[in-house]
């Protein structure tokens, strides 16, 4: 039997993704009511983090616990991964003992290899290319706040990075109108853009993207692993801060979204992120509920 992984949104059919989002809303309400629901009793999720994390770490840890299971925190430095054990071997060994593996690392192809050799589901907790768990939570957030996302104008203003790539995948699957604005040279990778051709528009003008948008999204200008480029990036992204004047071009009731962590005064102004249009803390909380729905689907 083939194992169901979640490395990008494309690993699941749109009907399954939509069911997961509905289920996330249900699980959220169950949790709020204090109901005990433990379909993953005695199940284990190995979590491999070779990059920092607050939301992903806490949401998977708490999510597994609430579903009756447990997690193992594995850092490459404390395991033989850091000493060069082949990922093919690591994958077969870990997956022989646990029920699922969540990994956050730089190389997406390494995660694909991990999945290829794994006998249990592998979940992408962020790579340099994609962040599909974030999009599950974001689609849940939009559903809760706005109902259907179908046909909405979503503006991505900033770096053409991993989260932007997952937004492109989401635009194709969930059928919304994505307008990306990046500085020249910071557009999404061509290979990933090609996969989503016809499902987004791109320019180097944040105002064009923001104009009459229903949702304005941004992310850090220097992702994990790009710290050395920070100064150059700060200069390149001048004019791309989502501030009140840029938000003012969007629809009056437009939402502001950001996966967090956010850098105030850089990609977003204090006023916008703390303003009443900001959905950032709901997005963060929904990581828990959306991933519980995902864990239930993949592991139960």
Which residues of this protein are in contact with ligand NVA, per CB under 6 A?
126, 161-163, 219-220, 223-224, 259
Q: Which residue has tokens 């900001």? A: 278
Output the smallest distance, CB 199 to ligand CP, in A: 23
The catalytic position among 131, 172, 233, 258 is 131
CA 258, CA 262: separation in Å to the nearest integer?
7
Residue 50 found at the interface with ligand CP (CB under 6 A): no
Closest CB 149 distance from ligand NVA, rounded Å: 21
For ligand NVA, the nearest residue by Cβ is: 223
- Active-site choice (55, 172, 287, 289): 287
Which token pair is 113?
Answer: 């290899």
What's the CA gap between 222 and 67, in Å, rounded?
35
Identify which range of 4-12, 13-21, 48-56, 170-178 contacts ligand CP by CB under 6 A: 48-56
Contact between 282 and ligand CP (CB under 6 A)?
A: no
Q: Answer for the pair 272, 245: CB distance below 8 angstroms, yes or no.
A: no
Catalytic position from the list 99, 259, 289, 291? 259
What is the closest distance, in whole angstroms, from the C-beta atom of residue 85 to ligand NVA in the complex?
A: 25
Rounded to 10 deg, the angle between the 162-174 and 14-32 helix axes is 110
The catalytic residue among 219, 233, 258, 277 is 219
> 10: closest CA among 153, 199, 174?
174
Q: Per this entry, what is the length of the chain?
A: 300
CB of residue 220 vs ligand NVA: minimum separation in angstroms? Answer: 5
Shortest Cβ 128–ligand NVA spacing (Å)? 7
Is 108 annotated in the active site?
A: no
The binding track of 257-276 with respect to ligand CP, each residue x by CB under 6 A or -, is --xx----------------
> Strand 215-218 vs strand 153-157: parallel, antiparallel, or unpaired?
parallel
Instruction: Indicate the pairing of strand 100-104 with strand 70-74.
Output: unpaired
Residue 212's Cα: distance from chain center in Å? 25
Q: Is 134 in the site for ligand CP (CB under 6 A)?
A: yes
As a whole number of angstroms, the distance between CA 190 and CA 207 comes to: 23
Concerning whether 259 is annotated as a catalytic residue, the answer is yes
3-state DSSP assignment of residue 109? helix
**β-bridge mates for residue 268, sequence order:** 242, 264
287: annotated active-site residue:
yes
Nearer to ligand NVA, 40 or 288 (CB): 288
Please identify every residue annotated as catalytic.
104, 131, 134, 219, 259, 287
Site residues for ligand CP per CB under 6 A: 53-56, 126, 134, 259-260
């Amino acid at each position: 039997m083939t194992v169901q992984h979640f490395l990008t949104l494309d690993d699941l059919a749109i009907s399954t993704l939509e069911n997961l989002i509905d289920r996330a809303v249900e699980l959220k309400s169950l949790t709020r009511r204090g109901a005990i629901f433990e379909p993953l009793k005695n199940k284990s999720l190995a979590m491999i983090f070779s990059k920092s994390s607050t939301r992903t770490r806490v949401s998977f840890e708490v999510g597994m616990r609430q579903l009756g299971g447990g997690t193992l925190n594995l850092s490459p430095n404390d395991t033989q991964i850091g000493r060069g054990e082949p990922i093919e071997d690591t994958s077969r060994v870990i997956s022989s003992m646990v029920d699922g593996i969540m990994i956050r690392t730089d190389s997406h192809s390494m995660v694909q290899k991990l999945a290829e050799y794994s006998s249990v589901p592998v979940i992408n907790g962020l790579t340099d290319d994609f962040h599909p768990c974030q999009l599950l939570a974001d689609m849940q957030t939009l559903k809760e706040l706005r109902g259907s996302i179908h046909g909405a104008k979503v503006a991505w203003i900033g770096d053409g990075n991993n989260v932007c790539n997952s937004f492109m995948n989401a635009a194709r699957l969930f059928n919304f109108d994505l307008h990306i604005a990046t500085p020249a040279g910071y557009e999404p990778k061509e290979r990933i853009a090609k996969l989503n051709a016809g499902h987004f528009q791109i320019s180097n003008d944040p105002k064009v993207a923001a104009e009459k948008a229903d949702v304005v999204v941004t992310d850090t200008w220097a992702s994990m692993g790009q710290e050395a480029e920070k100064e150059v990036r700060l200069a390149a992204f001048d004019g791309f801060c989502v501030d009140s004047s840029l938000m003012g071009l969007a629809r009056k009731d437009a939402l502001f979204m950001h996966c967090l962590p956010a850098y105030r005064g850089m990609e977003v102004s204090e006023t916008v992120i703390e303003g009443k249009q900001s959905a950032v803390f709901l997005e963060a909380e929904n990581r828990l509920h959306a991933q519980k729905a995902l864990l239930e689907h993949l592991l139960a």
